[in-house]
Structure 1
């Protein structure tokens, strides 16, 4: 009985379809906002954190090796007070075993070298202490957080309200980096290996 009813229903729909009224047009809407101000992000040391040469013998064989913590300063200067966010993009995606950290590249295209964590510290917006915040889509769900993970949109908020970014003209933010090399017994270290971490901070106007 159930099979019969299903067949009848399909037949009825097919027979009615030619008589249905179809829309003769549809709309395509293109939206956006052109902002009169622009912002320029820069990193101290041209954004390069160089650990120099590390002997393979100094790496831990069966645990990750933590390198010396480093800090770089992120500065954003805008033509006028502007509400913005920066998206963290991992240019070595797939080479970190944790989604919360950025990768350091691969050996022979197969062995992950390591990862690094970025923490947002000491934010100062137009001379006033501010709170680092982040969002997954750059629009909703803003909340106070120190860890800047790949794909996160980062901005700053007032210290008494973490729910939304504030407009800023001059921002400085310390980025603390914690870098780890994976256990040496899982890496091919017969030749020199280049630590090749790379991330892009992409500006988005809100």
Structure 2
């Protein structure tokens, strides 16, 4: 009886195989990286008309600081940093900021202010992210070299792969969805002995700020 059962079972399986149908099942979806937007209330910082008589002939002259609110919004919690490109790098005065300020400011943080009609360098400026709040809590500036090394900083935006981020407690970039604060500009004018004021000298700083996802 066992042999008969085995034979009958085999026949049943073969017959069932001829009636089988195939159905494709597809699994779809998207893995979408977080996207962030960067906005400034005012993307043009105007120093207006500057009287040459108020500038020094022998020293650099620091103008008043100006600032504008900034805001970054991300679609989900994201670690990010800001880096900058100086589109007027040819007008940068080497070592200018280090000589002007008490704390060391290297040329990585120095952005050019353009050239006069006589091809003279007008000056430079630095930019700092200040008073930052991420998702409702205060955060502090953080500097990175792009190799995973981070140290506390003063919020200055740098060039050449320098990253400026934010931290709270642990010395590592925070994961955030919204961050806001002030972007401050500090302009410095060259010695007037290096400038020719026969023509109007137009301050012409231009930088591109970029978000870098970490």
Superposition TM-score, scaled by structure 1 size: 0.76
Q: Deviations over 1:11-68 (max 9, x none)?
A: xxxxxxxxxxxxxxxxxxxxxxx743210001121x1110111122322111112111
Q: Is the 8 A contact 1:73 1:172 kept in 2?
A: yes
Please tell me the root mean square deviation across aligned C-alpha atoms, in Å.
1.7
Which residue of structure 2 lines up, in the alignment, with residue 38 of structure 1? 35
Decide which of 57, 74, 85 is 1:61's aligned counterpart.
57
Match of 2:90 among 77, 89, 94: 94
Q: 1:109, CA displacement in angstroms?
A: 6.8
- 1:104 is matched with 113
Count the aligned residue pairs: 169
> 1:22 aligns to what?
none
Alignment deviations for residues 159-192 of structure 1 (CA, whole Å, 9 cap, x no partner): x112x21111000132222111001111121111
Q: Residue 134 of structure 1 contacts residue 148 of structure 1 at CA under 8 Å; is this kept in 2? A: no
Query: What are the ranges of 5 or more consecutive residues in structure 2 without an aligned counterpart?
Result: 1-30, 96-106
Contact 2:117 2:201 in 1 (8 A): no
Residues 185-206 of structure 1: CA deviation (Å, up to 9, x unaligned): 1112111111011111111211
- Structure 1's consecutive aligned runs of 4 or more residues displaced over 4 angstroms after TM superposition are none
Residue 144 of structure 1 is matched in structure 2 by: 152
With the length of structure 2 as denominator, give the TM-score of the two structures.
0.73
Within the candidate set 180, 184, 198, 1:176 is matched to 184
CA, structure 1 residues 115+35, in 2 after alignment: closer, same or farther (shift >3 Å)?
Answer: farther
Give the Cα–Cα distance (whole angstroms) in 2 for the partners of residues 179 and 191 of structure 1: 20
1:202 to 185, 210, 213: 210
Change (3 A) 1:35 1:93: farther
